[in-house]
Amino acid sequence: MGLFTELKDSISRVTDRLFSEEEPKRIGIYGPPNAGKTTLANRIARDWTGDAVGAESHIPHETRRARRKEDVEIERNGKSVTIDIVDTPGVTTKVDYEEFTDEMEEDDAIRRSREATEGVAEAMHWLREDVDGVIYVLDSAEDPITQVNTMLIGIIESRDLPVLIFANKIDLDDSSVKRIEDAFPQHKTIPLSAKEGENMDEVYENIAEYFG
């Protein structure tokens, strides 16, 4: 009788665990163009899965379609969370093909600007409909008080989504994390360099705690 009871309890625990597991949380990586969103997405994905999410480039709007890396399990300090990383195109109020003409032919620049505009619309759709939380990436060497940042943070807050602000590119000489903290004091700001891998332990601790 004891063996039967133990077996029954063991099966019950396994079944409960299987059916109580939540779906991975879809965490959108948002921010303006060239803030380092894809670099961060690739850093997280490589650290925890060994795979990259997408191509990186110094040219704005390299990411023109949302890309998703599923089932990324992050563990830190006894806490863990499984997320789907959604690397979104950089959001801006205007995409001008002329900003690409130094890097490519005019026809390619026009096509890139058209695709980038479509990518902005797709990013906004994900934000309004399909994400459970947001990692907002800002270039800490740039002024964070812009129309785009204010608008996006406002949308995130109106949807009551959990959000972490990442002050990226702290490896640059003119980086200022305080400037970002002062711009959005209502949200936690974590400094990092996704390119150099600086302060990633704190990044993962906060992701596991905040989204878990």
Whole-number pLDDT of residue 94: 67
Which of 13, 36, 30, 11 is CA-nearest to residue 151? 30
CATH 3.30.390.50 fits domain 2-211? no
Convert the pLDDT of each residue in 5-62 to its tens digit: 555 555 554 444 444 456 899 999 999 988 999 999 999 999 999 988 866 655 545 5
Q: Show the low-confidence residues of the chain (pLDDT under 50).
A: 1, 13-20, 60
C-alpha–C-alpha distance, residues 47 and 101, integer Å: 35
Integer CA distances (angstroms), 162 to 1, 175, 208, in order? 49, 25, 13
